[in-house]
Structure formats: C-alpha cells, structure tokens
Amino acid sequence: MSAILPPSERLWWKHPLDRLEATWIIIAFIWCMIMFFMMVFWHVYGKQNLATETYKTNPAKFMAQTQAFVDKWTVRTETEQKIPVVAPPEGSDIYLIARLWSWWPILELEKGKTYKLHLTAMDYNHGFSLQPVNMNIQVVPGYEHVIKVTPTESGTFSIVCNEYCGIGHHEMVSRLYVK
C-alpha cells in the first residue's frame, strides 16, 4: 500500500501509530503550545505589543475631532506644507491622522506626562512606527485606536509608515517632539 492509494482498511484511526509519527506529532504539539504561550508572554513582557483599545469611527467624525484639537493647541507650523505643531496639556486626548501620504498634525508632548492618543487612517491601512523606540501600531481605516502614552525621554522622534501604502509610502514620515 502506498500513500496515494486508499487504505485497505477504512478504519485507519484504529491502526497502531508508528513511533516516528508519534514523535513528530508530540514535537509539533509542544511547539504549538510554546508559540501559543509566547503570544501571551510577549504581550505582558515585550515592550512593543501594546494594549490598545479600538473603537469604530469614520473619517468625517475623526477629522472634526482632530481639527478641534489642532485649533485649540497649535503653537506653530512646520515644513513646507505648514503642518501644525500641537502642544496639548497633560492628560488630554491627542489626535493623529494617517493618510496618503502624511501624518497630521505634529505632536509636541512633555516628558513624564500622560496623554491619550487617538489614531486612525483616513483611507487605507497604514503602520504607525515610532523610531528609534520601535513602537508599532497597525492603523486601520474605520477604527480609532486609543493608547495611553507617557514619554519617558525627551528629544525628537521619527514617525514612519511601516505598512506599504502605495507610491508615496516612503515619504510618509513625520516627527514627534518630547520636551
């Protein structure tokens, strides 16, 4: 009998298990368990997988919230596109929009203070990646990701898009200031 022919006995599960086969099944099962518990482990001990809350939203609603935030706390504009730099007070809700191919606005935060970051994409999937701390959040259109952030060091950080989003993907970069 070979593997391409139907088994002569239909009740194949009653056949004795070959030792080699059993060994591989046990190895595969143990490996599955390790991989499964690593997900939980990295969520708790890893520094990159964040516990975010996610809510449904839509571009018009999120844009209105972000515009109100920008109107209230803008301190200056930067770059050729005159992107507003927004310096919100401690504890406030802060907004960041990802779209083809920019991040809007630029945030200026203070070290040791906590903010509630709201993040969405206006069009397609984008990837929020804060460098060099390597903090990554998948940004999905139609959903608002809410993350509590407390900057622990001051400086200028880069925000890059790490989800391929078309011809201008490589230009989808921004910055984040921490005072």
Residues of this chain that bind ligand CUA (CB under 6 A): 101, 126, 161, 163-165, 169, 172
- Of 106 and 172, the one with the shorter C-beta distance to ligand CUA is 172
Q: At its nearest, how many Å lie between ligand CUA and the CB of residue 120?
A: 13
C-alpha triplet 66, 179, 151: angle, nearest 5°: 70
Rounded to 5, what percent of the chain is helix, strand, coil?
A: 25, 35, 35
Q: Which two tokens stand for residue 50?
A: 């964040």
Q: At its nearest, how many Å lie between ligand CUA and the CB of residue 31?
A: 33
Q: At its nearest, how many Å lie between ligand CUA and the CB of residue 164?
A: 6
3-class secondary-structure state, position 119: strand
CA gap 12, 8 in Å, rounded: 9
- Of 113 and 169, the one with the shorter C-beta distance to ligand CUA is 169
C-alpha triplet 176, 178, 179: angle, nearest 5°: 145
The answer to whether 52 and 145 are in contact (CB under 8 A) is yes
- Of 83 and 151, the one with the shorter C-beta distance to ligand CUA is 83
- Of 42 and 164, the one with the shorter C-beta distance to ligand CUA is 164
Q: At its nearest, how many Å lie between ligand CUA and the CB of residue 169?
A: 4
Q: Which residues pair with 85 in a beta bridge?
A: 76, 106
